[in-house]
Amino acid sequence: MYDIIVIGGGPAGLTAALYACRANKSVLVIEKGSFGGQITFSPKVENIPGFTEVTGNAFAELLVEQVLSQNAEVECAEVLSVKDGPIKTVITDAGEFTAKAVIVATGAKHRLLGLEHEEEYIGDGISFCAVCDGAFYEGKTVAVIGGGNSALQEALLLSDLANTVYVIQNLASFTGEQTLVERLKTKNNVHFMFETVVARLIGNPSFCGIEVQNTASGSSQVLDLDGMFVAIGLVPQNDIVGDIVALNDYGYIVAGEDCTTAADGIFVAGDCRTKRVRQVTTAASDGAIAALAACSYIDSQG
C-alpha cells in the first residue's frame, strides 16, 4: 500500500508526486498515456519560470526524471474507477492499487473539431492557447474557432500580434460577453464569420489552411492560414471519481485553491478542478498544494 496515489502524469500530477516524495511519503503515479500531459503538444514553451524556451517534451522528460530521482514509482495504466474509504482503492486495467490518500490530476482535454488530420497538426499549425503560442504568429494570418469567452479572449490577444485574425463561429452570433465583442469590433485586422463551420483542414504537407462552409447558404471558401486556434471548450477527465466527489455542471471537480474535495483523503490538482486560469504554472502550483494537503491528512490520521 502506498501513502499517496497520484492519478495523472502531467505537470500537476508530477509536481504533486515530487512534493509528496520530499515529505517522505511513498508515491505511485498512474498515467494512461504519455507523461507530461497536454504540454507535450507544444513545440516551444516560453512561459515557464527558469526556461527562456523549452519544448514541451523536453520539459516533461525533466519532470519525470526529477520525480523518479525522488523514488516515486510510476505505472502506465488506465484508471477505471476509485473506491473511497479509510483506504482508497484505485482500480486500473493493470490491477488494483491501494493508498491512504489519492490526488486526482487527470487534466482536461481540448475539445476537437473531429476533422481528418486534426491531431497530427496539433503543435504544427493547430494550437489551443494564444498565451502560449501566439507570439509564433506575429505578423501572420490565423483563425480562431469558437464564439464563447475563451475564443473571444484568444482573438483579442492574437489581434495585437497577427496581421489577420478570422473568428469563425458556427452560430449566428457570439455566445461570449458583449464587452469582448465590442472590443474586437474596434480591431481592423479581425474578421467575423458567422454561421460558418470548418469543413476540411488543408496541409501541404504541413497545415496551411482550412475550407469553411456557411451553414445558411451552403457556400464554401478556402482560407490560407499560418495557424488555427481551436477554442470550443475543454473536456475534463473526471468520470472515474464522479460518484465520490462533487462535480460542477461542466464535469470539473469542485475544489478551491486548497485543492481539497468533498471526499476525505481525495485531493485534486490542475486543469480538472474548478478554476479560472489553466496554465502549466498554475498546474504545478496545484500539485504542490494538493500534495502538502494530502501529507497533512495522512499525518492527522496517525
Q: Which of 92, 142, 102 is nearest to 3 (CA)?
A: 102
Tell me if residue 132 is catalytic. yes
In terms of phi and psi (left: phi > 0; alpha: psi -120 to 50; beta: otherwise), the region of 77 is: beta
* Among 3, 21, 129, 271, the one annotated catalytic: 129
Looking at this protein, which amino acid is placed at residue 93? D
Give the per-residue pLDDT at 40: 81
Best CATH choice for the domain 112-230 from the list 3.30.70.1400, 1.20.1070.10, 3.40.80.10, 3.50.50.60: 3.50.50.60
Q: Which of 211, 210, 240, 215 is nearest to 228 (CA)?
A: 210
- Mean of the pLDDT values across residues 27-32? 97
Share of the chain above pLDDT 90, in %: 85
- Does residue 171 carry a pLDDT above 80? yes
Tell me if residue 264 is catalytic. no
Span 1-15, pLDDT tens digits: 999 999 999 999 999
- Rounded Cα distance, 134 and 117, in Å: 22
CATH 3.50.50.60 maps onto the chain at: 2-109+234-300, 112-230
- Mean of the pLDDT values across residues 246-269? 96
Contact 56, 42 (CB under 8 A): yes
CB atoms within 10 A of CB 242: 14
Single pTM value for the model: 0.77
Span 52-107, pLDDT tens digits: 989 888 999 999 999 999 999 999 999 999 999 999 999 999 999 999 999 999 99
Looking at this protein, which amino acid is placed at residue 198? V
Looking at this protein, which amino acid is placed at residue 52? T
154: number of CA atoms within 13 Å, CB side?
30
Give the per-residue pLDDT at 45: 81
Domain spanning 2-109+234-300: CATH 3.50.50.60:
yes
* Among 132, 259, 272, 295, the one annotated catalytic: 132
* Among 133, 226, 271, 286, the one annotated catalytic: 133
Share of the chain above pLDDT 70, in %: 99
Tell me if residue 133 is catalytic. yes
- Residue whose cell numbers read 474578421: 191
